[in-house]
Every structure is written in structure tokens, then in C-alpha cells.
Structure 1
């Protein structure tokens, strides 16, 4: 028979850490990689589930490459003036609802020099942000910023790219979006930033938000970043991230389905009962960044973790 004392001790952790969720202003997602199956950008914003949406991806840039958008079947010829990718109305629809729309960059992206980084920043400014160009691939709407999703390691000059982009906030034409600010975000593979490509960029302190990919896109060398059922280890990792990463807000990078996780997928009920009650206590907690709108539709992940 279980004594009343033992029963109280068993319940103590649950009483100390009641289940917790996130609100829609704490959820970020990616859109663009699943064509018609994930709906339009406007329809993603109309769900009311997300605070930021990253358009994924600009896949080619730097080292003399012709920049190229890969938005699967959403549009064709996105690098040309004949693009069928004009999303200005959708982007403005999202922004009027208070949703930030960012361009995610990642793919084939080696930068060859500091000048190359500067040239890429000029291209991004003129073609997606507050500058001017006759060949704006998404139309004349102004995006809110750039989301770095650089997976390869030991690539130089991304700190320079962040600095050049950030400098546009100090120009007379800094009204880069409906908010008047150019935001910088980054998705960083766990563990914590060091001498890696994104580590050097993040350590500039210029990023408004950084998401830590704690359970997907991780290699066998980064198992300390997976949630393995040990909340103590996860809390230690979280405290390390929030202490060492000089960004405005830190997000947990999560797959919305086990089908897109190499390992370490966190079920929604576990996230709410064991992890969010701890991490939401931090002033640095920004929310969760979910991959992706398509998979979120399939599993209803954010519906399950919402308050």
C-alpha cells in the first residue's frame, strides 16, 4: 500500500512545475518548402498561430553565385523579373496582423571575403528589405528581416554579413519594414556557439533572436543537446544557452513531427509537462521555433502546446 506521505512526495514535482504552454506570440515557423500542400503565406498568417514566419529559403548566394530562391512549387523563376513569386499582398496581410515575415537564408552559401559579405548584404537589402531594385523576387513588399540558417561549420564572414545588415538600422532609410527595424534571427545547431560559422556571427550580439535546434538536424556528436527524458540535463543545457548566447531572446527549435527528426523528438505533452514549465521562467525565453508549417498542419503540434 502506498502511504499518504509517499503519495505527496510523488506529486511534489507536478505541483512545483504545473503543465505550461506557449501563446501564439511565442511561436515561430518556416514556410515555403512544401508547395501547395502547406497553403499560401497569407493562409499561414490567417491561422493566428504564429508570431514570425520565415520564408524558406534563399539557397544560393556568395562567392559569385547568382542568388536563388527555392520555394518548391509556390512560384517559378524566382531569380528573374518574370517571377511568378510576387507575394507582396500576402506579406503585407501578415504584417498588418502583427506577424513578422523574415527571409531564411541557407543552402549553398560560402562567403569568400568580407567584401563578398558586404555585397550579399547589399543584395538582400535591395531585393528583400528596404532598398530598391527592379528585380525584387517577392515583389515590392518589405520583409522584416533575415533569418540565418547556416548548417555548415567553419565558414567565415557570417559575422561580417550580420554587421553589414545591422548597419542598415543606422541609416536614414532604416525603415526596412512595417516596424521600422531590420530584425536578425538565427537557427544554431546545438551545442552552444563557439568558433563555428554561426557562433562567430551570434557572438557579435547583433541578433534579436536565436533558436537552438535541440532535437533535430543534430549529429551523433551532439547527443547532449537531445532531450532524453532527463530534465536535469536539459535544464543545465538551457541555462548554458541563455547564459552564453548574446541575443535578445532564445527559442527552442523543435520539429513538429518525428518524421523530420533524426532523433530526440519531444511529444507535445512532454514539452508542456516537463520542459516549458522550466524554460518559460527565464527572462530570455522567446518561445518555440517549429519546423515547419507543413508538418505543423499534419500533426497539430502548436495546437497541442498552446495555452
Structure 2
């Protein structure tokens, strides 16, 4: 995601070519005619989080997904703790490597995942870039000062990139850059962090990349200021779990790739930054925004034809794509072959009202209902819209996808159906896999796009 240090204004696709000359496709930095870069997030086993019994399709080691040319870049998700024990970060790679199932470096909560070094290097040897994604839906992100942000840049450089440290979780494998998937915490000092990191990368012995994964509402609440201040190589805009998702492509009031294209050409310090369409790789990869491959093919081809900033497609995530009939390979075909897409349809004339906040009091609880057989609410279980739980003696129904937001809390995820009329309750029975906390999609915002969300927004479903 990071722009090549030697050519900071060249787009990611061009940078990939300079880094991996063996790749055969041609690319012109002044045209998007041959753009076909595909990005696939790996590390969270989000399919396993929603399909606990289908272990055959759970996440595999990263090199499993590098066996063909469908994907060009793999952000490893996630570095979810910035400052943990011993002052070092921590990473959680779900069923592959985590602090519960793997050894940690002494005095830290940084798991030793050095068994992945050869898998990472295998992907790199095939001309793919592998980066570390910071943040995620539950990530503890943020800095308290410029000095701390600069210090963290040095830590990332030494632990994951071209520096040296005795606590490198991927051993001798040198990652190719950093992806910012910031969904919560403080927004301060990220410009300092990225600037310091960029400076270190500029002195590196190979190209490094910096990318971001903002949500589609513009400007992004967490990354908006930093992508305006420092040149990014690409932004993987999450066009899902929001009103501007792929499912609203034909509504000109909602679909806003043009806004991101304008940002790329007029505001971004890197005028050659590439804007990617981030899409869920299956219907279970996000709360909303999934479209079938035929629809996505049309969207990708039309966007490629209309906007020179278009860089390709990003998918959340690897496990979902493979379980969904190799959705990633189908995206490759959409970008590199097949017949051209029809011209875009005329925009819908339907008028939509921008999301707004309200100061009115919530409606009173309903009269109640039977709670027989209904599970009690559990903080580390994901709920879909329509799911019911019991909390504080009341029956609650989820309005939409919810994770970690207590019924009756400020997030407003739940409708209070009233006091239980039956106490024949079922205990909160669930399978608490450690990766469940990582599969957290975004909700449609209820405030204006420019406001800081009151609840976590998931980069987990970015691509």
C-alpha cells in the first residue's frame, strides 16, 4: 500500500511492477486501461467465525492463497494492539497465530509467528506484496503525542519491515509495507506516525507501501485527516456496511466513488494514488453491501472505464472468497478479461435524505414477549439483524449486525421488546473462538458521514 520510496508519486500498480518485474502484465502510469490489481485481506478467518462447523473452509496459511495470479497484495490482519506489555504491539491472526495458542516473546504479548516466515516469502517470491494491517474493528489504536507516534513508527520498522529486532514475529521475512485499518480510538498524531514511517521507508533497500482502508462515507472519520496530509499509495475504500455500499451502486445519491476520485485528483498529496473498490467476498463477510459476481463485474468494469484513479478491487477476506467459489478468481476475470461492461445506467432520480442524528427520546419499551429459548446477550458474540437476546430481564431484537454493543446502550443496536413474559431462559450457549472478535462489520452510520462514529466501524470487511 505504501508508495515506492524511490518514486513516491507513482501508483501502487506501477510500484508492484517495479518490485516484481517478473509479472507479465503491462501498465501505464497515465492510464487505467490495464489496471487489475487485486487485494485480499488475510488473517482473521472471518468465514470460520460465521461457519463454526465448516472447518474444511477455515483460513489456511497465507501461501495457500498465493498459488495462482488471482491476487497481487495481501494485508495481514491485524496488529490489534499498539502498545502492549513490554511496550511492543500485539497481533492476532485468528486460527493461525495468536497469544492464546502460540508462544509470546518474553515480557510481551507479541506472539511468535515465525513459522509463517517461509509462507510470506513464498508469496513475495511470486511477485506479491505482503503488508501488515494496523487496527481492525477491535484494535487499540492511537497515540498520545508526536514523540509516541514517532517511536511507534520505529517499532513497526524494526519489528515488521526493514529494521532489526530480536522480537520479529515473522522472523526474517521482511514485509512490504503497512495498511491502516483504523476504526476506533484517537485520530491524533497519525500524520506524524505515517510521515515518520515514510521517512524510514525512503531509506529502505526495496520499495515499501502505505495504504489505508477508509469507509466509503466521505470524509472517513478516522483516516480523513491523515490521507489528506501524507501521500498514500492506495486507499481500499470499504463500499459495504454503509449507505454508500455496492448494493446502492445505481443510486446517485448514495454511491460516491466519484467523490473519492475527486479526492484522489485534487486533495491527496499523491495525485497518482489509486482508489480501490472494497467488497465483501461473500454474503456472510459483511452486514450489507455484498453483491453477486455478475453485478460486481459490471461495477468494476464501469468504474474502471469512468475513473482514472481506479486501482482495482479489495476483498474481505481470504477465507470468505475461497469458500464462495473462489470469488477472488472471478474478480480477476472481471478486471482482466471478458467483454466490456455496458454503459452505466442513468442515475436514480429518487431523492434520499442524508443520515441525521436525532435528539428525541427513544420510544418506550414494548409490552414484552416470551423469552423461552432465547439466549442471554454475550459481549463477544456477533448478532445479525432480527436476532433476539435477553438482557436485564428484557427481550431485545437486533436492528442490524451488532458486536459488543450492549442492549440499551448509546449505539442503538437493539430494540427493547419489553420485559420477558417467561423466564424459561436458555443459558448463553455459544462457541467462543478467539477469532470471533475480529469479524466485526460496520453498521450503517446514523450520523452524518463526516462525524466520528459513536461505535466501532469495521475494517474487517474491507477489500
Among 98, 121, 140, the residue aligned to 2:127: 98
> How far off is 1:293 after superposition?
0.3
> How far off is 1:260 after superposition?
2.1
Counterpart check, 1:28 vs 2:18: no
* Cα gap change, 1:84 to 1:232, in 2 (>3 Å): closer
> How far off is 1:94 after superposition?
0.9
Q: CA RMSD in A?
A: 2.5
> How far off is 1:296 after superposition?
0.2
> How far off is 1:238 after superposition?
1.2
The size of the alignment, in residue pairs, is: 272
> How far off is 1:265 after superposition?
1.5
SS in 2 for 1:27: strand
> How far off is 1:267 after superposition?
1.6
- Please say if residues 41 and 316 of structure 2, whose CA atoms lie closer than 8 Å, have aligned partners that are also in contact: yes
After TM superposition, list the pairs within 5 Å mapping 1:47-86 onto structure 2: 47-62=68-83, 66-75=88-97, 76-77=101-102, 79-80=104-105, 83-86=112-115
Give the aligned partner of residue 312 of structure 2.
287
After TM superposition, list the pairs within 5 Å mapping 1:176-195 onto structure 2: 180-193=206-219
Q: Provide the C-alpha distance between the structure 1 equivalents of 2:34 and 2:165, rounded to a whole number of angstroms.
A: 37
* Cα gap change, 1:88 to 1:154, in 2 (>3 Å): closer
Counterpart check, 1:278 vs 2:302: yes
Normalization by structure 2: what TM-score?
0.55
SS in 2 for 1:201: helix
- Please say if residues 78 and 137 of structure 1, whose CA atoms lie closer than 8 Å, have aligned partners that are also in contact: no
After TM superposition, list the pairs within 5 Å mapping 1:122-271 onto structure 2: 122-152=154-184, 155-171=187-203, 174-175=204-205, 180-193=206-219, 196-216=221-241, 218=242, 223-228=243-248, 230=250, 232-233=252-253, 237-245=256-264, 246=268, 247=270, 248-271=273-296
Of stretches 224-233 and 54-63 in structure 1, the one that deviates more from structure 2 is 224-233
SS in 2 for 1:33: coil
> How far off is 1:170 after superposition?
3.1
**Which segments of 5 or more consecutive residues in structure 1 lack a partner in the other structure?**
1-21
* Cα gap change, 1:240 to 1:153, in 2 (>3 Å): farther
After TM superposition, list the pairs within 5 Å mapping 1:33-44 onto structure 2: 33-34=44-45, 37-44=58-65
* Cα gap change, 1:99 to 1:228, in 2 (>3 Å): same
> How far off is 1:161 after superposition?
1.1
- Please say if residues 24 and 50 of structure 1, whose CA atoms lie closer than 8 Å, have aligned partners that are also in contact: no
Among 309, 321, 327, the residue aligned to 1:301: 327
**Bigger helix fraction:** 1
Deviations 1:262-294 (A, max 9, x none): 222222111112x12321122211101100000
Give the aligned partner of residue 87 of structure 1.
116
Larger Rg: 2
* Cα gap change, 1:79 to 1:120, in 2 (>3 Å): farther
> How far off is 1:52 after superposition?
0.1
